[in-house]
Structure 1
Amino acid sequence: MATKANSVPIPTLISVDPFVPADQQKGLHNRWHPDIPPVVTVKPGEAFKIECVDWTGAQIGNNDTSDDVKNVDLTKVHNLSGPVAVEGAEPGDALVVDILDVVPFEKMPWGYTGIFELTNGGGLFAKEFNSKACKAIWDFEGIYATSRHIPGIRFAGVSHPGLIGTAPSASLLATWNAREGALIADPAHAEAVPPVAFAPNAVGAYVGQDEASVDGETRERIAREGARTIPGREHGGNCDIKNLSRGSRCYFPVFVPGANLSVGDLHFSQGDGELSFCGAIEMIRYSLLLGTTQAGIITFKTSIIKGGVEKFALKQPIFLPSPIDPLYSQKVIFEGISVDYHGDGKQYNMDATVAYKQAALNAIAYLMKLGYTREQAYLLLSAAPIEAHVGALVDSPNACVTLAIPTGIFEHDILPKPEGLTKQNFGQCAIRSDGVV
């Protein structure tokens, strides 16, 4: 017989409101720093839920213009829930995290994908497209997403955290700031737009704990020294790996006592590369279990692997992807090589980023033949479960990268035919109120 005693729910340890600005809520922070204290402590083996706001902290709305994307304050991102300390975790250990589930709030069954301004965020094609703000709102229907801004598309999401990681030590933080500072200071990057890196910036820095936990002097030091959350680093961070969906297992290096795990930037779906900067379908809730080396979901035990950094040569996290993936067997695959044939024709030497960009531009050109605008195609490749693979990195001078689009996400036929492609009118995504794209 089922009873309350044998049906204990998984507790929610950090609660947030997706409709309230992040800097008005507790249990959140938007910088990496070892002096940010944990907001909660758990024992290995405990299952628990964490709620997250979207990465911008409720700056983007469900509407039909992209003015909010154009004017977004990027000094305030990403808004992470945590830190969560794990009893017994010490520097040099490996923290094992099993992801049990990732779901949106019931009261907010939608998300968004955005193209950001060239001078405010950018994206993979910021310069090539002289990017202007655009967005698509996606409605969630169970495991599927559809958008009024990109008609004719319906796909199953691979929900995952875009950003998850442990806190850095003071020495690791100093290393980050030194090496990224040197990159910024390099005269070769003086005119870079978007910037090549984001230095610590006290403007917009936020630590949600009250004064009893973080005094004014410590808060100022965190704001002054704290690493921005934009890139991924040795601790994990903003790596945007779409296959870290429910059922995944993560092994993180521990740099501070308790590990101090934080998570945010939740995605309903994303393509490999998240090419438009806010390329995934951003959404809002997360549930995880600190894991063990034992297989299983929900019913496992947890352990901290003592000395795991040395045992596994854990310079960066190791991930075991989820066994759950949408079954899209047929794909149209586009190839790219390290020649800028969509631009000035320059030959690059084994540059996989150039090759990826050419594959993506080939796909965008193809989708435009079907009737999608360049902006819609850019957003679609960012949000849908496309797959990118490195084909070859040995055949000088051309690296080869492929980008695969599942045909099953379209409501119409997109396969090449002798008579050519059928072009339809799919309108346009949400653009700025001044009409500039």
Structure 2
Amino acid sequence: MGSFTTSVSSTCVEIYSLDLANNIAEFPAGSGIKIPLKPFFGILGVATPETSRTSVPPGSYGGNIDNRELQAGSRLFLPIFVPGALFSIGDGHSAQGDGEVNVTAIETSMNGRITLKLRKDLQLTTPIAETPTHIITMGFAQTLDEALELALKNMIDFLERFMNLSPENAYVLCSLTVNFHITQVVNSPQKGVHGMLPKSIFDKKINL
């Protein structure tokens, strides 16, 4: 068994046990409601030239993305803004729903093993992620409408660049196959939307 903390209001913090043997957490305690544990790091980002930036809102640099799809076996591609990138990782979550509507997930201490690689060939301006099953593009903005537009634009750009589709066909394909999710709405002032493109629809391997 392990432990985690979760805040249920602005003034109350409760501590619960994680059943690591069965990979679940019961919430509320004694309720019989069992939540599957799917751990991921909420913060994955690089530094930018600004000296006053906080770790709260996500952006083109990554940061407090809080994307529950970025679990073990995923890859995240980030643009670099300063020499050395100065990558940071943290904010361990045991479980979280899309949206993270109550400000917190199941917050927990967590260890992980990551590999950092410099990819000078990609020349990115916004994060792109890859899981074993999907390509993920992201949009961060002060409204969900704007965040959705950015996630969609980034997916269209991906399909043009890596799958050689025309802008028109890429736009149509997004409507046919890409699922857009609300990533989070609590990391003020930025809200997040991510689009998920299933790799299974392509007959050739996607090379990132």
CA change 1:135–1:388 in 2 (3 A) is: farther
Task: Establish whether residue 152 from structure 1 lines up as the match of residue 32 from structure 2.
Answer: yes
Secondary structure of the residue aligned to 1:231 is coil
CA change 1:135–1:273 in 2 (3 A) is: farther
Aligned equivalents of 2:72 and 2:144: distance in 1? 33
Where structure 1 has 5 or more consecutive residues not aligned to the other structure, the ranges are 1-107, 118-131, 174-224, 292-302, 324-349, 354-386, 391-437
Task: Establish whether residue 111 from structure 1 lines up as the match of residue 4 from structure 2.
Answer: yes
The alignment of Structure 1 onto Structure 2 pairs a total of residues equal to: 141
2:118 counterpart residue number: 304
CA change 1:145–1:241 in 2 (3 A) is: same
1:137 counterpart residue number: 16
Paired AA for residue 228 in structure 1: T
Q: Deviations over 1:211-267 (max 9, x none)?
A: xxxxxxxxxxxxxx4311111111100010001010001101111222111111100
Secondary structure of the residue aligned to 2:84 is coil
Larger Rg: 1
Paired AA for residue 140 in structure 1: D
Q: Deviations over 1:184-229 (max 9, x none)?
A: xxxxxxxxxxxxxxxxxxxxxxxxxxxxxxxxxxxxxxxxx43111
Percent identical: 29
Aligned CA RMSD, in angstroms, stands at 3.0
Shift, 1:148, TM fit: 5.0
CA change 1:275–1:135 in 2 (3 A) is: farther
Secondary structure of the residue aligned to 1:232 is coil
1:281 counterpart residue number: 106
2:126 counterpart residue number: 316
Aligned equivalents of 1:389 and 1:307: distance in 2? 29
Shift, 1:154, TM fit: 1.1
Paired AA for residue 6 in structure 2: T
Shift, 1:134, TM fit: 5.6
- Asked if the contact 1:163–1:265 (Cα under 8 Å) also holds between the matched residues in 2, the reply is yes
Task: Establish whether residue 243 from structure 1 lines up as the match of residue 56 from structure 2.
Answer: no
CA change 1:262–1:321 in 2 (3 A) is: same
Which TM-score applies when normalising by structure 1?
A: 0.29
- Asked if the contact 1:146–1:154 (Cα under 8 Å) also holds between the matched residues in 2, the reply is yes
Paired AA for residue 268 in structure 1: S
Aligned equivalents of 2:181 and 2:44: distance in 1? 23
CA change 1:352–1:256 in 2 (3 A) is: closer
CA change 1:317–1:150 in 2 (3 A) is: farther
Mapping of residues 172-187 of structure 1, within 5 Å: 173=50
Shift, 1:388, TM fit: 8.3
Shift, 1:285, TM fit: 1.9
Paired AA for residue 106 in structure 2: I
Paired AA for residue 139 in structure 1: L
2:97 counterpart residue number: 271
1:255 counterpart residue number: 81
- Asked if the contact 2:27–2:35 (Cα under 8 Å) also holds between the matched residues in 1, the reply is no
Aligned equivalents of 2:132 and 2:55: distance in 1? 25
Where structure 2 has 5 or more consecutive residues not aligned to the other structure, the ranges are 134-142, 147-178, 183-208
Greater relative contact order: 1 or 2 (C-alpha under 8 angstroms, separation 6 or more)?
A: 1
